[in-house]
Amino acid sequence: LIPAIHHTRQAVRTRKERFRLIQFLRESEERYRSTVESLHDMIFYVDEKGIFRDFFVPPSQELKPYLPPEEFLGKSYRKVLPPHLVKQITAAVDQIRQGSRTVEFRYSLEVDKKTHWYRATLTGRYDGDRFRGVTGVVKDITEQLAVEEQNRILSQGFQQSPVMVVVTDRRWRVEYCNPRFTEVTGYSQDEALGKTMLELLEGDPMAPEEVEKIEAVIRHGQTWEGRFHNRRKDGSMYWERAILSPILDANDKLMHILHLKQDITDQVETQERLERNEQRFRAVVEHSNDGMYVLKGQRFLFVNRRFEEMTGYRSADVTRKDFRYEDMLTEAGKEVFRQRREAFRQGKTVSDRFTFQSRTKDGDIKYFEASISRLNWDGVAATLGMLRDVTDMVVMQQELEEALKLAQQGEEIKRLFLANMSHEIRTPLNAIIGFTDLLQQTLHDRLSAEEQTFFNEVLKSGNRLIHTVHEILDMSQIEAGSFPVHPEPFNLTETLKGVFLANEAAARSKQLEFTLSLPEEDVMATADPMCVQRALENLMDNAIKYTTEGRVTVTLGAKGNTPEIVIEDTGIGMSEEYLARAFEPFSQESEGYTKKFQGVGLGLSLTKKYLELNSIDLAITSRKGVGTMVKITFPPEKKTG
């Protein structure tokens, strides 16, 4: 106002005009003061030299200055303000000097140990064309920015939400829908706006009273939860879980409705499939030839009919809360479970298949072979077990062991007995495997994933047993000197490739790096091809079986006319103590209840004998925890021509 007053005084020439002007200025000043004092903004005036000449703080004290007003007056803003704010004011003043009428910027200051954000608006003051300084208006926008940030986060959350977010008015007309709604329903926001939810999503018909019930809950300011079966734009149906919440005004009047929706089609369909599969599973379980049970801790949650027949206990007996599975065990059976718990506690690998001694309800002692797996039973982590009565087999084995103790030539008797047993087992076992495979193929389309697993386990176990039988027969023939050997020239490269390809799937299932290195030209060798193939199969199978991570490499080479195969792995390796007896029949480094790997311990022994029958050298080097290298060296090939 000062330049304006100065200019006006020069123009006034008469006392009357001067009186009127003074009166006008007093009234203007009063109105100005009244207006300014009603504001919530700080106002200051800085002259052309940067000196504060005026500084106004609103009486409301809602906006606190960086320093008390008296600390500013008569001082340069460059000396009393923080450097970052000095830089911003200087830049704004330069812009005004260059012709800008008004310049606005934001800045932050620490006031009462809190960060406050301000918006400053600077306007140039002139005396004619002469620059006289700037007037600044400062507004605290901390709360405004906080609200804007909250709104931004909320909006961004809605936009990026993995669930459908819809806002409707009181009459269920769509006012907003997020991208997830469009993704699920197929309706764009433009197509949805203004339409009611019932118009958009014509799902399964709802009874009028059901609709009224939902609307009543919303009208009373409460949240409704439930699910709908709705129709997409393309006509397909989907299930959704919905949470409907009222949005009220300050007077608790319903203004909008917030819809949070989640597509649960997959969950609903999965649940329906599970229920159907459970019905089929129960039918299979009840007619199974194996005893089956579900165990949680020491409590039985379920047993099938065959379990009842094998043990003499009814389902009602064993599923009582006070019944524990150890109530059925003999002391020897309890010791088996104790050893398994101790091995598990020590972090050792515990086999899912084991044999234990139990007592029937009538007091008879029986031996059962159990195969267990983990499953979720009615939302509870539990153990599924399959029982097979192996009493006769165990008794026979016990009698055999007793007989072997009395025999002076125990090893020979053992081999002869196993050979005879293998002949007797192989024929019915082939029938079991064949008919199981036929049954699986016949029922393939009607089997659940879990039932497929049962069949696969039967076939896997059967093939494992038949492989064991073949090993025993071969060992018996070799020991008896009747194993046939027919040396002949053959393509060693092709044989090695065939064995490698047969083992690729097993290596891939364990995510191992499985590589084969071959020379450019095929390598020929003279030996019994079947012996060489079986030896390679055993060695590659061992390398993959005992390697949990890393690689298995197979290399074929020829030093001069001497073929050589090297198989290296990064598996568990062998200790020096075990390496000394690795070729003994029926030997494995891990034995007993904590035995980690399958097999009867004939693989390496047979492999060495297969190769020795063909004058092929086998050498093994190994380090525990590092890996194993096997080298097969063939006799030199005679050059032709």
- For 500-532, write each residue's pLDDT tens digit: 999 998 899 999 999 999 999 999 999 999 999
pLDDT top residue among 238 and 286: 238
Of 40-54, 160-174, 348-362, 585-599, give the lowest mean pLDDT range.
585-599
407-481 has CATH 1.10.3470 classification: no
Contact status, residue 377 vs residue 363, Cβ threshold 8 Å? no
The whole-number pLDDT of residue 156 equals: 75
pTM for the structure as a whole: 0.36
How far is the C-alpha of 638 from the C-alpha of 641, rounded, in Å? 10
Q: Is 536 exposed, middle or buried (0-12, 13-18, 19+ CB in 10 A)?
A: buried
Contact status, residue 533 vs residue 610, Cβ threshold 8 Å? no
Q: Partners of 619 in the beta sheet?
A: 631
Q: Which two tokens stand for residue 35?
A: 């207006």
Q: Output the CA torsion sign for 388, 391, 396, 397.
A: positive
Amino acid type, 623:
R
The whole-number pLDDT of residue 474 equals: 75
Is the pLDDT confidence value at 335 over 80?
A: yes
The whole-number pLDDT of residue 1 equals: 42
Contact status, residue 302 vs residue 383, Cβ threshold 8 Å? no
Q: Which two tokens stand for residue 151?
A: 């709104």
Closest CA to 195 of 177, 176, 170, 173: 173
The whole-number pLDDT of residue 587 equals: 65
Q: Output the CA torsion sign for 88, 93, 98, 102.
A: positive
Q: Indicate the fold that domain 161-263 takes in CATH.
A: Beta-Lactamase (3.30.450)
Q: What is the pLDDT of residues 251-275, one digit of tens each?
A: 888 899 999 999 999 988 888 888 8
Quick one: how far is CA 154 from the chain centroid?
A: 28
φ, ψ of residue 413 in degrees (nearest 5): -60, -40
The whole-number pLDDT of residue 579 equals: 84
**Same fold flag, 161-263 and 265-389:** yes
How far is the C-alpha of 186 from the C-alpha of 179, rounded, in Å? 10
List the chain domain ranges.
1-38, 161-263, 265-389, 407-481, 484-633
How far is the C-alpha of 240 from the C-alpha of 263, rounded, in Å? 4
Integer angstrom CA distances of residue 54 from 57, 76, 135, 509, 590: 10, 12, 9, 82, 92
Is the pLDDT confidence value at 499 over 90?
A: yes
The average pLDDT across 345-368 equals: 91
The whole-number pLDDT of residue 617 equals: 94
Backbone Cα Rg of the chain = 45
Integer angstrom CA distances of residue 90 from 49, 95, 137, 143: 11, 9, 16, 27
pLDDT top residue among 86 and 591: 86
Amino acid type, 72:
F
Torsion angle of C-alpha atoms 387, 392, 395, 397, degrees rounded to 10: -90
Q: How many C-beta neighbours within 10 Å does residue 197 have? A: 20
The average pLDDT across 129-136 equals: 92
How far is the C-alpha of 252 from the C-alpha of 281, rounded, in Å? 54
DSSP structure class, residue 51: B
Pairs from 293-297 (Cβ < 8 Å, separation ≥ 24): 293/318, 293/384, 293/385, 293/387, 294/375, 294/377, 294/382, 294/383, 294/384, 294/385, 295/325, 295/382, 295/383, 295/385, 296/377, 296/380, 296/381, 296/382, 296/383
Contact status, residue 187 vs residue 261, Cβ threshold 8 Å? no
Contact status, residue 304 vs residue 285, Cβ threshold 8 Å? yes
Q: Is 415 left (phi over 0), alpha (psi -120 to 50) or beta?
A: alpha
DSSP structure class, residue 207: -
CB within 8 Å of 219: residues ≥ 6 apart:
246, 254
Quick one: how far is CA 252 from the chain centroid?
A: 44
Is the pLDDT confidence value at 2 over 50?
A: no
Q: Indicate the fold that domain 484-633 takes in CATH.
A: Heat Shock Protein 90 (3.30.565)
Q: Which two tokens stand for residue 463?
A: 């093939």
Max distance between CA atoms of the chain, in angstroms, equals: 149
Q: Is 244 exposed, middle or buried (0-12, 13-18, 19+ CB in 10 A)?
A: buried
CATH code, residues 265-389: 3.30.450.20
Express as a percent the part of the chain with pLDDT over 90. 37
3-class DSSP state of 268: helix
Residue with tokens 């019930």: 213
How far is the C-alpha of 67 from the C-alpha of 239, rounded, in Å? 62
The whole-number pLDDT of residue 422 equals: 61
Amino acid type, 123:
T
Q: Which two tokens stand for residue 533?
A: 């193939």
According to DSSP, the β-strands at 164-169 and 174-177 are antiparallel
CB within 8 Å of 364: residues ≥ 6 apart:
312
The average pLDDT across 571-578 equals: 88
Closest CA to 631 of 640, 620, 641, 615: 620
φ, ψ of residue 389 in degrees (nearest 5): -75, 110
The whole-number pLDDT of residue 435 equals: 79
Is the pLDDT confidence value at 18 over 70?
A: no
How far is the C-alpha of 2 from the C-alpha of 93, rounded, in Å? 20
Q: How many C-beta neighbours within 10 Å does residue 618 have? A: 18
Of 91-100, 161-170, 207-216, give the lowest mean pLDDT range.
207-216
